Chain A
Amino acid sequence: MDLLTRIANEVRAGEPDAVRALAAEALAAGVAPAEVLRGGLIAGMTVVGDAFRLREIFLPDVLLAARAMQSGLEVLRPQLAAGGVPTAGRVVLGTVRGDLHDIGKNLVGILLGGAGFDVIDLGVDVPPERFVDSAVEHGAAVIGISALLTTTMVGMREVVALVRERGLADRIKVIVGGAPLTEAFAREIGADGYAYDAASAVGRVKQLVGAA
């Protein structure tokens, strides 16, 4: 079994120490860092993502794999520094204004990070202006907003409206989620996307990044 396959397997197994050691071994053997990233780390995470989507594995398995991938990235980062670490895209996340419940938002952030996205987490109780300002500042293609309460979820409409008001709708997409939300509500407020759980959020964000 070649080194890259072994790295991918250890990512799938969620073994950070093994991934770190194998990544270093690959670099020492002269394998290009971009190749270690593509053929080892991302290859492993891709398998994990597919299995997660098919409900063959569960959230903790993905998080363990993501942690293992990060340990490999740490080894590669100095050599990738010149060109920067390639990302799947940049996403601004936060809970809607007035809502302090961040479990779902945190899960989405972790999974997006594991899928290679650069996540800007604004935390909880985020005003509409801050969502939009941060997206512009960081060049994010997607704003993700979470709510747990029916009383706060209506505030998501203001973020969508502000994106449009500033003429950013063609390059910044808004995705919403949270326990009380429905696809119909997302459509009603004009959001670009809706995800009913953290697993489906990753796929939706990928679609939106492609569309942004």
Chain B
Amino acid sequence: MRPTLCLLEDPLAERIVSEARDVLATLGVEVHHDGVLNLLADHGADVDRAARRARLPAALVDRALAAVPHAFRLFDAAGEPTHDFSGWNVHFTPGSAAIRLLDGATGALRAPVTADYVRYARLVAGLPHYAAQSTAFIPADVPAAISDSYRLFLSLLHGEKPVITGAFTAEAFAVMHDLLLAARGSDAALRERPLALFTCCPTSPLQWSEATVSNLVDCARAGIPVEVVAVPFSGFLAPVTLVGTLVQHAAENLSGVVIAQLAAPGTSLLWGCSAAIFDIRTETAPLGAVETMMLACGANEVGRRLGMPTQAYIALSDAKALDAQAGLETGAGAVLAALSGINSVSGPGMLDLENAQSLEKLVVDHEACGMALRLVAGIEPRDDFPARPLLEELLREKHLLIAAHTRRHLAGQIRFPGPVIDRAPEARWQEEGALTLGARATREVERIVAAWQPSRLGDDAKRALLRRMEAAARAAGLDALPVRVEA
């Protein structure tokens, strides 16, 4: 039996969806894009152009939900499937778009640079519980105009895993699309085997900015999957109640589903969530709050009810260091996400209210993800009945360490964590240097980065990536890309 978590009873989930539909039909959404307003009007929305507001009738929402795929997959640079966004499958991805990096050597939060990103990409390549790489942080040594495409470029150059990413401007999409085409080889191949998934976030309450809605439409028309991720803050930019926030979240997400399906029916979408509570004491939106995690899990249940695969920002922490708070918030989130069956979990590695990434934390969080995945594999009988013969063998042999049953099932039953998790007797721990978690994580980062092997992406594709990125850099006023690293 796969263990599960359920926070919303059926009637409540149904009511949340029906209230969201009502909100869209009566209040509508504000869309800062004339073309999208035209698209909505052409398909039956009641559009007030002066107010840039579109009211979406129930029939329009129904048509969109009928068109959206119930499942889809992502593929790595070699074309192998990595993600099956369906059912209760859970995939973990590092959190994305941090502006700072926790420096493993100094413990300081600082602006990351290209060399950090290369180390990150190589690290994630060696951590199997992360099915995807994300464009995890923003290198500060390139102009802001290319900071989004440059992250994607480095990820495609150094890693094979598909990339969870996003564009900061409408214009950046073209460059990023070109990079994906260069890596995959053709438009048809990219559509058939998506190599990236873009994040598009409506703005609370009930708005779409020009840049984000442009990205949403551009992705849909290019056949690139999107996670639509509403970001309402309970008690600030959304009702303080979790149910009220989920209603608003659902309305905002549904508007994205409608726009994407009108732009290109059948566009693959994840029902995403980055809803959070608002902490009035610190004036922040904490991702490690239990209510924020409940919103993520609740939104997942709403998405599941609508027949869509899901995503959420969860399994991350608001701590500023790799400390106990970081562990407890991330671990709790990873477990709740896995029990909820959130198909794409974005968060590991993140600290400081989604502002900072940490390579060392990525290594530690990788273990939390592994634990969560083991948890949801559940307890299943494995040659256990009748029980007597094996217990007879135990009494006879005094142990079962090398019993055939043990050898057959050890790997599937017991998950052995990596060296960042300390399970040694105290004396052995002392003998091996009495290393703290931080020291063990630092050592493991170095080991994995050193063991990195170049991507199987062909040399022609790598050269094409480089040419496209150099052209974008020149257009942004940068004569040469920062330190070139062998890929």
Binding site for B on A (CB under 8 A): 14, 59-60, 63-64, 67, 103, 106-107, 110, 179, 182-183, 194, 196-197, 200
Interface presence of B402 (CB below 8 A): yes
B427 A60 Cβ-Cβ under 8 A = no
When the two chains form their complex, are residues A59 and B427 in contact, meaning their CB atoms are under 8 A apart? no
Chain B residues contacting A179 (CB-CB under 8 Å) are 425
> Looking across the interface, which residue of chain B has its beta carbon closest to that of A183?
B427
A38 to chain B, nearest CB (A): 25
Closest Cβ neighbor of A199 among chain B residues? B428
B323-381 with Cβ < 8 A to chain A: none
Could you say which residues of chain B place their CB within 8 Å of the CB of A103?
Answer: 399
Nearest CB in chain B to that of A59: its residue:
B401
B399 touches A107 (CB 8 A): yes
A135 to chain B, nearest CB (A): 22
Are B427's CB and A182's CB within 8 A?
A: yes
In the complex the two chains form, is B427's CB within 8 Å of A196's CB? Answer: yes
Q: Is the interface of B mostly helix, strand, loop or mixed?
A: helix
Q: How far is the CB of A108 from chain B (nearest CB, A)?
A: 12
Whole-angstrom CA separation of A138 from B425 in the bound complex: 32
Whether B399 pairs with A110 at a CB distance below 8 angstroms is yes
Pairs A–B under 8 Å by Cβ, sample size 27: A14-B402, A59-B401, A60-B401, A60-B402, A60-B406, A60-B410, A63-B401, A63-B402, A64-B402, A67-B402, A103-B399, A106-B398, A106-B399, A107-B399, A110-B399, A179-B425, A182-B426, A183-B427, A194-B427, A196-B425, A196-B426, A196-B427, A196-B428, A197-B425, A197-B428, A200-B427, A200-B428
B75 to chain A minimum Cβ distance, whole angstroms, is 35
Question: Across chains A and B, which 5 residue pairs bring their CB atoms closest together, nearest first?
Answer: A196-B427, A196-B425, A63-B402, A60-B401, A60-B402
Contact residues in A for B402 (Cβ distance below 8 Å): 14, 60, 63-64, 67
Q: What residues make up the interface of B, taking CB atoms closer than 8 Å to A? A: 398-399, 401-402, 406-407, 410, 425-428
In the docked arrangement, what's the CA distance between A93 and B259, Å? Answer: 75
CA distance A59 to B407 in the complex (A): 12
Chain A residues, CB < 8 A from B406: 60
Q: How many A-B residue pairs have CB under 8 A?
A: 30
CA distance A151 to B406 in the complex (A): 33
Contacting residues, chain A, for B425 (C-beta < 8 A): 179, 196-197
The distance in angstroms between the C-alpha atoms of A183 and B426, with both chains bound, is: 10
Which chain B residue shows the least CB distance to A65?
Answer: B402
A183–B410 alpha-carbon span in the complex (Å): 32
- Residues of A contacting B: mostly: helix
Tell me the complex Cα distance, A182–B407, Å. Answer: 32
**Supplied contacts A110-B399, A197-B428, 17 more A-B pairs, CB within 8 Å:** A14-B402, A59-B401, A60-B407, A60-B410, A63-B401, A67-B402, A110-B401, A182-B426, A182-B427, A183-B427, A194-B427, A196-B425, A196-B426, A196-B427, A196-B428, A200-B427, A200-B428
Closest chain-A Cβ to B447's Cβ sits at a distance in Å of: 14
Residues in chain A near residue B401, CB distance under 8 A: 59-60, 63, 110
A196 CA to B423 CA, complexed, in Å = 13
Contact partners of A182 in chain B: CB under 8 A: 426-427
Give the residues in chain A near B426, CB-CB below 8 Å.
182, 196
In Å, the complex CA distance between A196 and B399 comes to 20
What is the bound-complex CA distance between A197 and B427, given in angstroms? 9
Q: Which residues of B contact A194 (CB under 8 A)?
A: 427
User: What is the bound-complex CA distance between A121 and B131, given in angstroms?
Assistant: 50
**Residues of the B chain whose Cβ atoms lie less than 8 Å from the Cβ of A106:** 398-399
Nearest CB of chain A from residue B398's CB, rounded to whole Å: 5
A60 to B428, CA, bound (A): 19
Specify which chain B residues have a CB less than 8 angstroms from the CB of A60 in the assembled complex: 401-402, 406-407, 410
Inter-chain contacts of B410 with A (CB < 8 A) = 60
Residues of B within 8 A of A110 (CB): 399, 401
- Give the most central of B401, B406, B407, B410: most A CB within 10 Å: B401
Closest to B425 in A: A196
Cα A60 to Cα B406 with chains together (Å): 10
Taken together as a complex, chains A and B put the C-alpha atoms of A183 and B428 apart, in Å, by 11
Docked pose: A67 CA to B404 CA in angstroms: 13
Please indicate the chain A residues that have their CB under 8 angstroms from the CB of B428 in the complex.
196-197, 200
A188 to chain B, nearest CB (A): 15
Q: How far does the alpha carbon of A200 sit from the alpha carbon of B407 in the complex, in Å?
A: 24
> In the complex, A59→B98 CA distance in Å?
43
Chain A residues with CB under 8 Å of B398's CB are: 106
Contacts of B399 in A (CB 8 A): 103, 106-107, 110
Most buried by A among B398, B406, B407, B426: B398
Distance (whole angstroms) from the CB of A53 to the closest CB of chain B: 12
